[in-house]
Amino acid sequence: MKTLKDIEDNLRVFVSYVKKNMKGYEKGEAQLFLERLFQSFGNEGILEAGASLEAQVKIDITTKFCDLLWPEKVLIEMKSSKEKNLAVHFTQAKNYWNELYDDQTDYVILCNFDEFWVYNWRHQRDPVSKVKLEELPEKWRSLAFLLPEEHAVRTHYIDDKVLITKEAAEKIANLFTSLQKRGIKQDQSQYFTLQCLVALFADDTNLFPIRGFFQDIIEDCLNDRLSSYDIFPLLFKQMNSKTPASGGRFKGVRFFNGGIFNKIYQIELTHKELKILLDASKADWSKVSPSIFGNIFEHSLSSKDQHRTGSHYTRENDILRIVEPTVIKPLREKIAKAKTLKNFLEIKDEISVIKILDPACGSGNFLYITFR
């Protein structure tokens, strides 16, 4: 492969080959289909890329086989073209992925020869992209992780939660940095930044009376119709109150528990800081992963403070090594064995009283991932 345009040309040939020569039989054609797919993305072949076919996956005392495994990159599970609803095979693929541990992949693909469902279970349950075979030459970036390392480009999704979260985190981190640079105390900067973060989430997740409620306040401050020194503390105070406002601008604002609004500081934001917030508010925060709280928390601590308190943002892979065998797997086994409504209700009751202790809780990412 010489250029990225070569990928499109290769994939057009691949699509034509599949339509002309394949019937969509899982057992007889899946491996050839995958080999041709890998070659279309510029790899010499599956094995040469470092992937393997019919890779063993240990589930309890049994050995299963996934159709393709490229450690840390992608797990692919093929189905016949008759299997139109790939969602039916979600659990099978998820079980394989859960048991990979050190080899756990960033991506999972369910494919029936006609359609590719791309998952990134580190960030969301639903597919991040669905691509029909004939769309592949134009939408190949949804599978860009199949490229050889030397040709790696950013994967593009219809719903790229990873990218949105990263960009949102950078914007909010810029707000915190700006507050710090002009002498606002660290604890005040932390509280204020995280409170704005909650308000941004609330704006796009129907937790405020109307969508764009917080964005309107930011715009009013930018246009000198309101003062951030006055309006932000008033909003945060209402968000911390169990008594709803009976009228006025904050009528319908809910009570936000958890203690994030227990301490409220009056801070006059600069024009630049308000622009940062307004820019951040234009993202769709319903698509931002709550793990952003961990990113921002760690960013707000100096290296000295992180070392002193042990407050580090733990990677999801490392968290799952503890959570999967101790919390998730036992529950999954009980669910698999349940046969009656009574069994399921008993499991539901058990789940409702589970308590997770994180003695070294810093960013909160351990608890977030466990409960998710």
pLDDT by residue (tens digit) across 105-130? 889 999 999 999 999 887 777 888 89
CATH fold for domain 4-151: tt1808, chain A (3.90.1570)
- Average pLDDT estimate for 161-180: 79
pLDDT on residue 157: 46
Residue 96 — pLDDT band, cuts 50, 70, 90?
Answer: confident
Q: What is the pLDDT of residues 187-234, one digit of tens each?
A: 999 899 989 999 998 998 889 999 899 999 999 999 999 999 999 999
Cα–Cα distance, 320 to 327 (Å, whole number): 10
The 3-state secondary structure of 87-130 reads HHHHHHHHHHHHCCHHHCCCEEEEECCCEEEEECCCCCCCCCEE
Residue 264 has pLDDT above 60, yes or no: yes
pLDDT on residue 102: 72
Average pLDDT, the chain: 85
pLDDT on residue 229: 97
pLDDT on residue 372: 78
Q: Assign 59 to helix, strand or coil.
A: strand
Cα–Cα distance, 193 to 230 (Å, whole number): 16
- Tell me, rounded to whole angstroms, the distance of Cα 326 from its chain centroid: 23
Find the range with the poorest average confidence among 57-66, 183-192, 223-232, 300-309: 300-309
Residue 310 — pLDDT band, cuts 50, 70, 90?
Answer: very low
Residue 5: what are its φ and ψ, rounded to 5°? -65, -30
Cα–Cα distance, 6 to 8 (Å, whole number): 5
Residue 19 vs residue 362, higher pLDDT: 19
Residue 307 — pLDDT band, cuts 50, 70, 90?
Answer: very low
Q: What is the pLDDT of residues 141-165, one digit of tens each?
A: 899 999 987 666 555 444 455 556 6
- Average pLDDT estimate for 332-349: 93
The residue type at 118: V
Q: Assign 172 to helix, strand or coil.
A: helix
Which residues neighbour 165 within 8 Å (Cβ) at sequence distance 6 or greater?
123, 288, 289, 291, 292, 295
Q: What percent of the chain has pLDDT over 90?
A: 52
* Helices 329-337 and 90-98: angle between axes, nearest 10 degrees: 140
Cα–Cα distance, 40 to 148 (Å, whole number): 11
pLDDT on residue 121: 85
Residue 311 has pLDDT above 60, yes or no: no
Residue 50 — pLDDT band, cuts 50, 70, 90?
Answer: very high
- Average pLDDT estimate for 330-337: 88
